[in-house]
Amino acid sequence: MHIQLGALDYAILLIYVAFVIGIGFVLARFMKTSSDFLTSGRSIPAWVTGLAFISANLGALELVGMAASGAKYGIAQAHFYWVGAIPAMVFLAVFMMPFYYGSKARSVPEYLNMRFDQRVRALNSISFAVMTLFASGISVNLLAKLLHQLLGWNYDASLWICSAVVLLYVLKGGLTSAIYTEVLQFFMIVLGFAPVVYLGLKDVGGWDAMKGRLVMVAANPAAAGMIDKAGKTYPADSWTSAWHPLLAGPASNPMGVDWFAMVFGLGFVLSFGYWCTNFLVVQRAMAARNMSAARRTPLIAAVPKMLFPALVILPGMIAAALAITHQDGYRLPPKPLTAAIYQKMLPAVAQASSAGLQGEAALQAINTALGSDDAKTYKLNPEKIAAIVADNKSAALPEDTLKTRLQDAVRETDYDGVILSLVKKYCPTGLLGLALTGLLASFMSGMAGNVTAFNTIWTYDLYQAYIAPNKSDQHYAWMGRFITVVGIVLSILCAYLVSQWSNAMDIIQLVFGFVNAPLFATFLLGMFWKRTTGTGAFLGLLGGTATSALFQALSNASGNALGIKGGYLWLWMHKSLADIPQCLQFPSDMAQNFWLATFAFIACLVLTLVISLATRRTKTDEELKGLVYSLTPKVKDEGEAWYLRPAVLGVILLLGCVVLNIIFY
């Protein structure tokens, strides 16, 4: 069942590990001050920070999640790139980077402190620190789970060893080491997965043949194994057009989203909030060697980002196309059965066989043994179960065969397994090692990114600001290293929390949404309106977060029971789904999420505006110089060649985006 790795695969894996650790050790001798370790001493060329910028975001979650969504939603998932990421990255480069870099802030919360006051800084740094740890935990949990399922590696060992490698090179070379290895990892991910995508596309018969098959998927998604869409049909171009199904309304596209929520909620609020304010990515640009390198960082990153859908979303579409015709027996990967589940199933099958149960009765016996929750989770196929029970009757099947067939009888699809199911299908020894190394690289770049952002925020924005100010730089350099170890250990603990308690993941992601959604409003007003006050920003941010929580408590997405995922206030008031007004019911999680962001943003914007007007300014124009648009002398880039000017590059990138949107309309 597991993939067998050859000696060459291990060799490639080891070469990669040796190089990332080697980079850490070589850089270690340049790490003298706390700023060398935590902010790279602002010394890195733009092409390096640019690729690291994109690589820190290209964690395992992105790689696995985008392929999953490619299968679920098709080309429309590219909106996360062509409507979401690119415009936000251009905005960051052209308008926001001059303030971040020019203010000499070492972190995003420190900028908030300069612009507003300590309260806003504390709020942002604490919420960000907690979120990075959880993000890193979720990602390492996912990686260890995949390695366990795919290669049969021990979960705990995978978790600890992978984290130890990251710890080693980050501890040695600090942020520089994280950034340098992220670039290495960027190439590893691209060169590791590109041949898999090529083989997949060739196998389905090329782009046009794939589109033809995706029309069949749209007509009957359940036939491709998308059991969550059972009984639904969509317009023919739902998987192959990005805009047409979207404009036709939420019922006509598999995402269940309307165009306004997509453009405003995702494109404006969520994407700008992420790319322009998240220290994880902004930190990379801040490490650049000078202002123009800092401004070029997001623009350089935008070029590969624009093309990434071909690498990360296309595999999902290929998988859906393969699954609809069951080509070579391919199916979307079923949800993996765990050891504990097998322990419940195996005796139940034996009993059912000896009792001679047939048809539905056989299924019912197994489902009873599983319990109603697990039965609902796995959705076993009645015919396959009946066949297994019947075949097991005459002579007991060998345990391996039995396990394989039971796994095959699971109908629930595990979309997260899509990318690796293709790796498994197409990679011979050699290429297999390369692709797996790419996966490992994506995880490491994500974890190192989170940990280096966390240690800077902790050391400068929490420890130096509130706990122990006025210590020697040596002391902060030591603290930076110490907290790196703590950060990795806490990420591992978060990974165990998420793996042990499945609701944890839902809750964490929910809280992420609450905190992130209003953030961009605060930055927008702070950077472009000098009248914004600290009190306005602080209360606006709190109010925006409260609005998200309230919105979630009152709204519900179709298909979800009332509870953690939405509508808990109704549950608390002992109301049922039918009592919720129509306007608060959304066709999908995604729609609910985009609308939540929209409301939180507007609430934060209005509150900050009103409170700012009602409170007195605490910072003079002079103090806000370099922090607010109207009070800062424009960055002069006339001296640079036209093709290096951020505004020119930004316009070219946006035009590229428009062209892509038209091609895949």
Partner 1 sequence: MGLDLRWPIGLMFSLIGVLLTGYGALTGSDTDMYKRSLGININLYWGLVLLVFGFLMLLLAWRGKSQVQPTAAKPPETTPAP
Footprint on this chain of partner 1 (rule: CB under 8 A): 8, 11-12, 15-16, 19, 22-23, 26-27, 30, 32-33, 35-36, 40-41, 43-44, 48, 176, 180, 183-184, 187, 191, 195, 199, 202-203, 425-431, 434, 473
Give least dist CB 203 to partner 1, A.
6
Give least dist CB 202 to partner 1, A.
6
Judged by beta carbon, residue 120 or residue 201, the one nearer partner 1 is 201
Give least dist CB 474 to partner 1, A.
11
Give least dist CB 155 to partner 1, A.
27
Give least dist CB 417 to partner 1, A.
18
Judged by beta carbon, residue 191 or residue 606, the one nearer partner 1 is 191
- Rounded Cα distance between 365 and 352, Å, is 7
Please state the length of the chain.
Answer: 665
Judged by beta carbon, residue 16 or residue 274, the one nearer partner 1 is 16
Residue 198, helix vs strand vs coil: helix
- Rounded Cα distance between 220 and 138, Å, is 33
Give least dist CB 7 to partner 1, A.
10
Judged by beta carbon, residue 325 or residue 585, the one nearer partner 1 is 325
Nearest to 612 by CA among 524, 545, 508, 548: 524
| Nearby residues of 133 by Cβ (< 8 Å), 6 or more positions away | 450, 454, 487, 490, 491, 494
- Assess contact for 167 and 136: CB atoms under 8 A: no
Pairing type for strands 585-586 and 556-557 reads parallel
| Nearby residues of 510 by Cβ (< 8 Å), 6 or more positions away | 552, 564, 565
- Structure token pair of residue 345: 């199933």
Judged by beta carbon, residue 156 or residue 473, the one nearer partner 1 is 473
Judged by beta carbon, residue 472 or residue 500, the one nearer partner 1 is 472
Look at the alpha carbons of 93, 94, 95, 99 in this order and tell me if their dihedral is positive or negative. positive
Residue type, 32: K
Nearest to 467 by CA among 455, 475, 459: 459
Judged by beta carbon, residue 21 or residue 348, the one nearer partner 1 is 21
Identify the DSSP state of 584. G
Nearest to 27 by CA among 35, 39, 36, 18: 36
- Rounded Cα distance between 35 and 283, Å, is 13
Give least dist CB 129 to partner 1, A.
25
Give least dist CB 33 to partner 1, A.
5
Which conformational region is residue 395 in: left (phi greater than 0), alpha (psi within -120 to 50 degrees), or beta? Answer: beta
Judged by beta carbon, residue 162 or residue 201, the one nearer partner 1 is 201
Give least dist CB 48 to partner 1, A.
6
Chain CA centroid to CA 453, Å: 16
Give least dist CB 31 to partner 1, A.
10
* Neighbouring C-beta atoms of residue 296, cutoff 10 Å: 25
Query: Could you report how far apart the first and last alpha carbons of the chain are, in Å?
Result: 41
Judged by beta carbon, residue 226 or residue 423, the one nearer partner 1 is 423
Angle at CA of residue 211, ends 205 and 212, nearest 5°: 80
- Structure token pair of residue 378: 């796995």
For helices 431-456 and 155-204, angle between their N-to-C axes, nearest 10 degrees: 120
Secondary structure element (H or E) that encloses residue 569, with its range = helix 568-572
Q: Which residues pair with 557 in a beta bridge?
A: 586
Judged by beta carbon, residue 431 or residue 517, the one nearer partner 1 is 431
Judged by beta carbon, residue 202 or residue 575, the one nearer partner 1 is 202
Judged by beta carbon, residue 51 or residue 242, the one nearer partner 1 is 51
Give least dist CB 440 to partner 1, A.
14
**Residue 237 to residues 248, 504, 506, 658, Cα–Cα distance (Å):** 11, 36, 31, 20
Give least dist CB 589 to partner 1, A.
36
